[in-house]
Amino acid sequence: MMKKSTHFKIILIVFICIGLSFKSSNTIPHIDKFVVVLDAGHGGKDSGNVGNGYREKDIALKVVLDVGKRLEKDGRFEVIYTRKSDKFIELYERGNIANKAKADLFVSIHCNAHRSQASGTETFVLGLHANKENFDIAKNENSVILLEDNYEANYDGFDPNSPESVIGLTLLQEEYLEQSVALASLVQDSFTKSLKRKSRGVKQAGFVVLHQTFMPSVLIELGFLTNNREGRYLNSKRGQSDMAKSIFKSILDYKKSVDALYTNNVQHTAHQEIYEGIVFKVQISASSRAIETKPYNFNGLQEISRIKYGERYKYFYGSTSDYLRIKRQKKEAEKEGFESSFIVAFKGNQMIPLSEALEANTVSN
Protein backbone atom coordinates (compact mmCIF):
# COMPACT_ATOMS: atom_id res chain seq x y z
CA MET A 1 0.00 0.00 0.00
CA MET A 2 1.34 3.43 -0.93
CA LYS A 3 0.79 6.34 1.44
CA LYS A 4 2.42 9.27 -0.31
CA SER A 5 4.00 10.29 -3.57
CA THR A 6 6.16 13.08 -4.96
CA HIS A 7 6.56 15.13 -8.09
CA PHE A 8 10.09 13.81 -8.65
CA LYS A 9 10.39 12.70 -12.29
CA ILE A 10 13.09 11.19 -14.44
CA ILE A 11 13.08 12.74 -17.91
CA LEU A 12 14.83 10.82 -20.66
CA ILE A 13 14.62 9.90 -24.32
CA VAL A 14 13.48 6.30 -24.19
CA PHE A 15 15.25 4.86 -27.19
CA ILE A 16 18.60 6.46 -26.37
CA CYS A 17 18.24 5.11 -22.85
CA ILE A 18 17.48 1.61 -24.05
CA GLY A 19 20.40 1.77 -26.45
CA LEU A 20 22.94 2.71 -23.79
CA SER A 21 21.64 0.19 -21.30
CA PHE A 22 21.50 -2.64 -23.83
CA LYS A 23 25.15 -2.03 -24.52
CA SER A 24 25.86 -2.28 -20.79
CA SER A 25 23.74 -5.31 -19.95
CA ASN A 26 25.10 -8.80 -19.70
CA THR A 27 21.54 -10.08 -20.07
CA ILE A 28 21.13 -10.83 -23.80
CA PRO A 29 17.52 -11.38 -24.87
CA HIS A 30 16.56 -15.06 -25.00
CA ILE A 31 16.98 -16.48 -28.49
CA ASP A 32 13.88 -18.68 -28.34
CA LYS A 33 11.63 -16.88 -25.90
CA PHE A 34 11.55 -13.50 -24.23
CA VAL A 35 10.91 -14.39 -20.60
CA VAL A 36 8.65 -12.06 -18.61
CA VAL A 37 7.97 -12.61 -14.91
CA LEU A 38 4.69 -11.06 -13.80
CA ASP A 39 4.32 -10.33 -10.10
CA ALA A 40 0.90 -9.61 -8.58
CA GLY A 41 1.60 -7.59 -5.45
CA HIS A 42 0.57 -8.85 -2.01
CA GLY A 43 -1.68 -11.93 -1.64
CA GLY A 44 -2.94 -14.28 1.06
CA LYS A 45 -2.58 -12.80 4.54
CA ASP A 46 -1.17 -9.61 2.98
CA SER A 47 -4.16 -7.85 1.45
CA GLY A 48 -2.31 -4.69 0.46
CA ASN A 49 -4.40 -1.55 0.71
CA VAL A 50 -8.19 -1.75 0.96
CA GLY A 51 -9.12 1.75 -0.11
CA ASN A 52 -12.89 2.24 -0.46
CA GLY A 53 -13.29 -1.45 0.37
CA TYR A 54 -11.46 -2.60 -2.79
CA ARG A 55 -8.66 -5.09 -2.22
CA GLU A 56 -5.32 -4.35 -3.84
CA LYS A 57 -4.24 -8.00 -3.88
CA ASP A 58 -7.31 -9.01 -5.92
CA ILE A 59 -7.06 -6.21 -8.47
CA ALA A 60 -3.32 -6.71 -8.95
CA LEU A 61 -3.84 -10.43 -9.57
CA LYS A 62 -6.62 -9.91 -12.11
CA VAL A 63 -4.53 -7.43 -14.08
CA VAL A 64 -1.47 -9.69 -13.98
CA LEU A 65 -3.44 -12.69 -15.26
CA ASP A 66 -4.87 -10.57 -18.08
CA VAL A 67 -1.42 -9.27 -19.10
CA GLY A 68 -0.08 -12.82 -18.99
CA LYS A 69 -2.90 -14.18 -21.12
CA ARG A 70 -2.20 -11.59 -23.80
CA LEU A 71 1.55 -12.30 -23.78
CA GLU A 72 1.01 -16.06 -23.92
CA LYS A 73 -0.90 -15.67 -27.18
CA ASP A 74 2.28 -14.23 -28.70
CA GLY A 75 4.67 -17.10 -29.41
CA ARG A 76 7.72 -14.93 -28.77
CA PHE A 77 7.07 -14.77 -25.02
CA GLU A 78 7.33 -17.12 -22.09
CA VAL A 79 5.35 -15.93 -19.07
CA ILE A 80 6.11 -16.88 -15.48
CA TYR A 81 3.92 -15.81 -12.57
CA THR A 82 5.03 -15.31 -8.98
CA ARG A 83 1.45 -16.19 -8.01
CA LYS A 84 -1.71 -17.12 -9.91
CA SER A 85 -4.00 -17.32 -6.90
CA ASP A 86 -4.66 -15.62 -3.56
CA LYS A 87 -1.38 -16.82 -2.06
CA PHE A 88 1.18 -15.12 0.17
CA ILE A 89 4.59 -15.09 -1.51
CA GLU A 90 7.58 -13.71 0.35
CA LEU A 91 9.39 -10.82 -1.35
CA TYR A 92 12.72 -12.61 -1.62
CA GLU A 93 11.02 -15.61 -3.24
CA ARG A 94 9.47 -13.39 -5.91
CA GLY A 95 12.95 -12.30 -6.91
CA ASN A 96 14.25 -15.86 -6.76
CA ILE A 97 11.56 -16.96 -9.21
CA ALA A 98 12.71 -14.34 -11.71
CA ASN A 99 16.40 -15.01 -11.23
CA LYS A 100 16.06 -18.79 -11.61
CA ALA A 101 14.13 -18.25 -14.83
CA LYS A 102 16.87 -15.90 -16.11
CA ALA A 103 14.04 -13.55 -17.01
CA ASP A 104 14.38 -10.68 -19.45
CA LEU A 105 11.86 -8.56 -17.53
CA PHE A 106 10.29 -8.44 -14.07
CA VAL A 107 7.01 -6.52 -13.79
CA SER A 108 5.36 -6.06 -10.38
CA ILE A 109 1.81 -4.66 -10.28
CA HIS A 110 0.23 -2.80 -7.34
CA CYS A 111 -2.45 -0.24 -6.48
CA ASN A 112 -1.87 2.97 -4.58
CA ALA A 113 -3.56 4.60 -1.57
CA HIS A 114 -3.54 8.00 0.10
CA ARG A 115 -5.50 9.76 2.79
CA SER A 116 -6.61 12.37 0.21
CA GLN A 117 -8.30 12.02 -3.19
CA ALA A 118 -4.92 11.75 -4.92
CA SER A 119 -5.05 10.03 -8.30
CA GLY A 120 -2.90 8.88 -11.19
CA THR A 121 -0.52 6.15 -12.29
CA GLU A 122 3.17 5.95 -11.50
CA THR A 123 5.91 3.44 -12.24
CA PHE A 124 8.92 2.87 -10.00
CA VAL A 125 12.40 1.59 -10.62
CA LEU A 126 14.95 0.79 -7.94
CA GLY A 127 17.01 3.77 -6.84
CA LEU A 128 17.84 6.18 -4.07
CA HIS A 129 14.88 8.14 -2.72
CA ALA A 130 14.60 11.72 -3.93
CA ASN A 131 13.34 12.73 -0.50
CA LYS A 132 11.63 11.49 2.65
CA GLU A 133 8.33 10.97 0.82
CA ASN A 134 9.89 8.42 -1.54
CA PHE A 135 11.45 6.65 1.44
CA ASP A 136 8.01 6.46 3.09
CA ILE A 137 6.57 4.92 -0.07
CA ALA A 138 9.24 2.22 -0.22
CA LYS A 139 9.13 1.63 3.54
CA ASN A 140 5.41 0.94 3.36
CA GLU A 141 5.80 -1.66 0.61
CA ASN A 142 8.91 -3.20 2.16
CA SER A 143 7.23 -3.62 5.54
CA VAL A 144 5.51 -6.77 4.23
CA ILE A 145 8.70 -8.66 5.05
CA LEU A 146 7.72 -8.35 8.72
CA LEU A 147 4.91 -10.83 7.96
CA GLU A 148 7.42 -13.42 6.77
CA ASP A 149 8.91 -16.18 8.87
CA ASN A 150 12.64 -15.82 9.53
CA TYR A 151 12.77 -12.52 7.63
CA GLU A 152 15.96 -11.37 9.39
CA ALA A 153 17.89 -14.28 7.90
CA ASN A 154 16.23 -14.04 4.48
CA TYR A 155 17.14 -10.36 4.10
CA ASP A 156 20.51 -10.43 5.86
CA GLY A 157 19.53 -7.96 8.57
CA PHE A 158 17.67 -5.54 6.28
CA ASP A 159 15.56 -3.06 8.25
CA PRO A 160 12.63 -1.58 6.24
CA ASN A 161 12.53 1.36 8.66
CA SER A 162 16.18 2.30 8.11
CA PRO A 163 17.19 4.71 5.31
CA GLU A 164 20.72 3.28 5.48
CA SER A 165 19.46 -0.24 4.78
CA VAL A 166 17.52 0.93 1.74
CA ILE A 167 20.47 2.86 0.31
CA GLY A 168 22.39 -0.42 0.25
CA LEU A 169 19.81 -1.95 -2.10
CA THR A 170 20.55 0.17 -5.14
CA LEU A 171 24.05 -0.87 -6.16
CA LEU A 172 23.12 -4.40 -7.20
CA GLN A 173 20.49 -3.23 -9.69
CA GLU A 174 22.49 -0.28 -11.04
CA GLU A 175 23.48 -2.18 -14.15
CA TYR A 176 19.84 -2.53 -15.19
CA LEU A 177 18.62 0.91 -14.12
CA GLU A 178 18.57 2.48 -17.57
CA GLN A 179 16.66 -0.43 -19.08
CA SER A 180 14.22 -0.35 -16.18
CA VAL A 181 13.64 3.38 -16.61
CA ALA A 182 13.11 2.88 -20.36
CA LEU A 183 10.40 0.27 -19.74
CA ALA A 184 8.83 2.40 -16.99
CA SER A 185 8.66 5.34 -19.38
CA LEU A 186 6.92 3.24 -22.02
CA VAL A 187 4.39 2.09 -19.41
CA GLN A 188 3.61 5.63 -18.30
CA ASP A 189 3.42 6.92 -21.88
CA SER A 190 0.97 4.17 -22.79
CA PHE A 191 -1.25 4.89 -19.78
CA THR A 192 -1.32 8.55 -20.74
CA LYS A 193 -1.74 8.27 -24.51
CA SER A 194 -3.96 5.22 -24.90
CA LEU A 195 -6.04 5.50 -21.72
CA LYS A 196 -5.79 9.23 -20.93
CA ARG A 197 -4.83 8.38 -17.36
CA LYS A 198 -3.16 10.99 -15.20
CA SER A 199 0.56 10.29 -14.99
CA ARG A 200 2.54 10.88 -11.82
CA GLY A 201 5.71 9.96 -13.69
CA VAL A 202 8.61 7.56 -13.45
CA LYS A 203 10.20 7.50 -10.01
CA GLN A 204 12.97 5.85 -8.05
CA ALA A 205 12.66 4.26 -4.62
CA GLY A 206 14.21 1.39 -2.69
CA PHE A 207 11.77 -1.50 -3.08
CA VAL A 208 12.99 -4.83 -1.75
CA VAL A 209 11.09 -6.78 -4.42
CA LEU A 210 13.01 -4.92 -7.16
CA HIS A 211 16.32 -5.30 -5.33
CA GLN A 212 15.93 -9.08 -5.33
CA THR A 213 15.95 -9.29 -9.14
CA PHE A 214 18.88 -9.20 -11.56
CA MET A 215 17.22 -8.01 -14.74
CA PRO A 216 15.31 -4.87 -15.84
CA SER A 217 12.50 -4.51 -13.28
CA VAL A 218 9.63 -2.12 -12.64
CA LEU A 219 6.87 -1.73 -10.06
CA ILE A 220 3.67 -0.31 -11.53
CA GLU A 221 1.09 1.57 -9.44
CA LEU A 222 -2.16 1.34 -11.41
CA GLY A 223 -3.83 4.18 -9.51
CA PHE A 224 -5.36 5.05 -6.16
CA LEU A 225 -8.06 2.80 -4.72
CA THR A 226 -8.73 5.55 -2.18
CA ASN A 227 -9.81 7.90 -4.96
CA ASN A 228 -13.56 7.38 -5.38
CA ARG A 229 -13.63 7.51 -9.16
CA GLU A 230 -10.30 5.82 -9.82
CA GLY A 231 -11.00 3.09 -7.27
CA ARG A 232 -14.28 2.18 -9.00
CA TYR A 233 -12.53 2.11 -12.36
CA LEU A 234 -9.70 -0.16 -11.18
CA ASN A 235 -12.17 -2.49 -9.46
CA SER A 236 -14.18 -2.85 -12.67
CA LYS A 237 -13.64 -5.44 -15.41
CA ARG A 238 -13.27 -2.67 -17.97
CA GLY A 239 -10.64 -0.84 -15.93
CA GLN A 240 -8.63 -3.98 -15.32
CA SER A 241 -8.81 -4.94 -18.99
CA ASP A 242 -7.77 -1.44 -20.08
CA MET A 243 -4.76 -1.38 -17.76
CA ALA A 244 -3.69 -4.89 -18.73
CA LYS A 245 -3.86 -4.10 -22.44
CA SER A 246 -1.80 -0.95 -21.92
CA ILE A 247 0.91 -2.79 -19.95
CA PHE A 248 0.94 -5.55 -22.58
CA LYS A 249 1.51 -2.97 -25.32
CA SER A 250 4.37 -1.39 -23.35
CA ILE A 251 6.11 -4.76 -23.03
CA LEU A 252 5.71 -5.33 -26.79
CA ASP A 253 7.19 -1.89 -27.51
CA TYR A 254 10.09 -2.54 -25.17
CA LYS A 255 10.88 -5.89 -26.80
CA LYS A 256 10.63 -4.35 -30.25
CA SER A 257 13.18 -1.69 -29.30
CA VAL A 258 15.58 -4.20 -27.75
CA ASP A 259 15.26 -6.55 -30.73
CA ALA A 260 16.10 -3.74 -33.14
CA LEU A 261 19.17 -2.77 -31.15
CA TYR A 262 20.26 -6.38 -30.81
CA THR A 263 19.94 -6.96 -34.56
CA ASN A 264 22.00 -3.88 -35.35
CA ASN A 265 24.52 -4.38 -32.55
CA VAL A 266 28.06 -5.05 -33.75
CA GLN A 267 29.07 -8.41 -32.35
CA HIS A 268 32.67 -8.64 -31.13
CA THR A 269 34.30 -11.88 -32.24
CA ALA A 270 37.89 -11.07 -31.28
CA HIS A 271 39.63 -12.74 -28.38
CA GLN A 272 40.08 -9.50 -26.45
CA GLU A 273 38.18 -6.31 -25.84
CA ILE A 274 40.40 -4.16 -23.62
CA TYR A 275 39.16 -0.98 -21.93
CA GLU A 276 42.05 1.22 -20.85
CA GLY A 277 41.84 2.45 -17.26
CA ILE A 278 38.86 0.20 -16.46
CA VAL A 279 38.84 -2.93 -14.31
CA PHE A 280 35.93 -5.35 -14.59
CA LYS A 281 34.97 -7.81 -11.86
CA VAL A 282 32.11 -10.26 -11.33
CA GLN A 283 30.18 -9.60 -8.15
CA ILE A 284 29.16 -12.99 -6.80
CA SER A 285 27.82 -12.26 -3.31
CA ALA A 286 27.39 -9.79 -0.46
CA SER A 287 27.29 -10.32 3.27
CA SER A 288 27.41 -8.52 6.58
CA ARG A 289 30.26 -10.88 7.57
CA ALA A 290 33.89 -10.74 6.46
CA ILE A 291 34.54 -14.10 4.80
CA GLU A 292 38.07 -15.26 4.08
CA THR A 293 38.66 -15.07 0.32
CA LYS A 294 39.81 -18.67 -0.07
CA PRO A 295 38.59 -20.94 -2.90
CA TYR A 296 36.93 -23.35 -0.45
CA ASN A 297 34.59 -20.54 0.66
CA PHE A 298 33.53 -19.79 -2.93
CA ASN A 299 32.89 -23.19 -4.52
CA GLY A 300 36.48 -23.51 -5.71
CA LEU A 301 36.71 -20.15 -7.49
CA GLN A 302 40.09 -18.45 -7.22
CA GLU A 303 40.98 -14.78 -7.75
CA ILE A 304 38.41 -13.64 -5.18
CA SER A 305 38.50 -10.11 -3.77
CA ARG A 306 36.48 -8.39 -1.06
CA ILE A 307 35.49 -4.75 -0.61
CA LYS A 308 33.63 -3.24 2.32
CA TYR A 309 30.74 -0.86 1.58
CA GLY A 310 29.33 0.63 4.77
CA GLU A 311 28.49 -2.30 7.02
CA ARG A 312 28.44 -4.89 4.22
CA TYR A 313 31.11 -6.79 2.34
CA LYS A 314 30.90 -7.46 -1.38
CA TYR A 315 32.78 -10.35 -2.98
CA PHE A 316 34.12 -10.35 -6.52
CA TYR A 317 35.55 -12.95 -8.89
CA GLY A 318 38.16 -11.96 -11.46
CA SER A 319 39.85 -8.66 -12.22
CA THR A 320 40.59 -7.65 -15.79
CA SER A 321 40.34 -4.85 -18.33
CA ASP A 322 39.22 -7.37 -20.97
CA TYR A 323 35.42 -7.26 -21.17
CA LEU A 324 35.19 -10.50 -23.17
CA ARG A 325 37.24 -12.29 -20.51
CA ILE A 326 35.09 -11.02 -17.64
CA LYS A 327 31.98 -12.23 -19.47
CA ARG A 328 33.57 -15.69 -19.66
CA GLN A 329 34.35 -15.48 -15.95
CA LYS A 330 30.76 -14.55 -15.21
CA LYS A 331 29.68 -17.77 -16.94
CA GLU A 332 32.23 -19.68 -14.85
CA ALA A 333 30.78 -18.15 -11.67
CA GLU A 334 27.27 -19.12 -12.72
CA LYS A 335 28.43 -22.66 -13.44
CA GLU A 336 29.83 -22.89 -9.90
CA GLY A 337 26.49 -21.95 -8.38
CA PHE A 338 26.58 -18.14 -8.34
CA GLU A 339 23.62 -17.77 -10.69
CA SER A 340 22.83 -14.21 -9.64
CA SER A 341 26.34 -12.89 -10.33
CA PHE A 342 26.79 -9.79 -12.47
CA ILE A 343 29.58 -7.66 -13.94
CA VAL A 344 30.71 -4.41 -12.30
CA ALA A 345 33.30 -1.84 -13.36
CA PHE A 346 35.93 0.16 -11.51
CA LYS A 347 37.90 3.23 -12.52
CA GLY A 348 40.77 3.59 -10.09
CA ASN A 349 39.31 2.52 -6.75
CA GLN A 350 35.85 3.86 -7.56
CA MET A 351 32.99 1.67 -8.77
CA ILE A 352 31.30 3.30 -11.77
CA PRO A 353 28.18 2.39 -13.79
CA LEU A 354 28.95 -0.37 -16.25
CA SER A 355 27.33 1.69 -19.02
CA GLU A 356 29.83 4.49 -18.36
CA ALA A 357 32.74 2.06 -18.52
CA LEU A 358 31.58 0.55 -21.79
CA GLU A 359 31.27 3.97 -23.41
CA ALA A 360 35.07 4.26 -23.21
CA ASN A 361 36.99 3.39 -26.35
CA THR A 362 38.60 -0.04 -26.47
CA VAL A 363 42.36 -0.10 -27.11
CA SER A 364 42.56 -3.67 -28.38
CA ASN A 365 40.09 -5.89 -30.21
Cα–Cα distance measured from residue 265 to residue 21, given in angstroms and rounded to the nearest whole number: 12
pLDDT over 90 at 143, yes or no: no
Q: Is domain 14-264 given the CATH code 3.40.50.150 in the classification?
A: no
Q: What is the DSSP code string of 97-161?
A: HHHHTT-SEEEEEEEE--SS----EEEEEE---SSHHHHHHHHHHHGGGGGSTTHHHHTTT--TT
36 pLDDT higher than 60: yes
CB-count exposure of residue 159 (10 Å: 0-12, 13-18, 19+):
middle
CATH code of the region 274-364? 3.30.70.1070
Going by the DSSP 8-state scheme, the letter that residue 165 receives in this structure is: H
Dump pLDDT digits (tens) for 158-201.
444 444 444 444 444 456 777 888 899 899 999 999 999 999 98
What Cα–Cα distance (Å) separates residue 64 from each residue in 11, 84, 152, 197, 360?
A: 27, 8, 29, 19, 40
Domain boundaries of the chain, sorted by first residue:
14-264, 274-364
Phi-psi region of 185 (alpha: psi -120 to 50; beta: other; left: phi over 0): alpha
pLDDT of residue 261: 63
Q: What is the pTM of this model?
A: 0.60
Confidence of residue 129 (pLDDT cuts 50, 70, 90): very low
- CA separation for the pair 181, 102 (Å, rounded): 20
Q: How confident is the model at residue 79 (pLDDT cuts 50, 70, 90)?
A: very high
What stretches of 44-84 adopt beta strand conformation (E)? 77-81
Q: Is the pLDDT of residue 222 over 50?
A: yes
Q: What's the average model confidence in pLDDT over 49-58?
A: 96
Among residues 176, 147, 137, the alpha carbon closest in space to that of 17 is found at 176
Helix (H, G, I), strand (E, B) or coil at 239: helix
Rounded to the nearest integer, the mean pLDDT of the chain is 78
Categorize the per-residue pLDDT at 363 as very low, low, confident or very high, splitting at 50, 70 and 90. low
